[in-house]
Amino acid sequence: MRIKLFKNSKGQSATEYMLIVAVVVLGLVSAASNFIPAFNQAVAQLAQNVAGWISTNQQMASPNQ
């Protein structure tokens, strides 16, 4: 005589998939938080460059030249 503990395995696999998605999202958020300071620094440097070009009235280099 066997007793089935889990009659509906669809709910179980949906839960497992949601746990996997949660772990992947946590990993992505963690990785993104490591890149935010570098991104902010690059944007700040770009802003400085543009401000310098505007204040000295220089033109940006054209990629065709």
Residue with tokens 């503990």: 5
One digit per residue, the tens of pLDDT, for the chain of length 65 reads 556 655 655 667 888 999 999 999 999 999 888 888 888 899 999 998 888 878 887 666 665 65
CA distances from 58 to 3, 49, 52, 53 (A): 81, 11, 8, 5
Structure tokens at 64: 């065709």
pLDDT of residue 55: 81
Q: The whole model's pTM is what?
A: 0.47
Q: What amino acid occupies position 40?
A: N
What sign does the CA torsion over 30, 35, 41, 44 have? negative
